[in-house]
Amino acid sequence: MPSRLRKKYGIGKGTRLVFLEAAGELRVIKEQDLDRMFSVFDRIRKATKVTRKELDTLVERVRARLWSERYAGRP
C-alpha cells in the first residue's frame, strides 16, 4: 500500500486490516474500526433486547433488499 495512503488513513506498522469484497468492490477497513462498529451494534441490540438470531435475520433481510434495489435488472 502506498505510503501516501497509509499516512492519510492512519495505517501504521502493526495495523491489522480487514478486506471486504462484495459486488465487484474491494474495501479495506482497520480491524479496530470494525470492532468499534460492531460494539455499537451490540450495545443497541442489548438495549432493545433483540436476540442475536433476530438481529441476524433482520440484517439478512436488509442486505437482500439493498442488493435487490441496487442490482436488480443489471446484466
Neighbouring CB atoms inside 10 A of 4's CB total 8
Write out pLDDT tens, residues 3-21. 999 999 999 999 999 998 8
Which pLDDT does position 73 carry in this prediction?
65
Scan for cell 438481529, then name that residue.
Answer: 55
Scan for cell 465487484, then name that residue.
Answer: 24
3-state helix, strand, coil in the chain (%, to 5): 55, 15, 25
Average pLDDT, the chain: 85
Write out pLDDT tens, residues 48-57. 898 888 888 8
User: Which residues share a beta bridge with 21?
Assistant: 26
Which pLDDT does position 14 carry in this prediction?
92
pTM for this model (two decimals)? 0.50
* Spatial distance between the Cα atoms of 22 and 25, rounded to a whole number of angstroms: 5
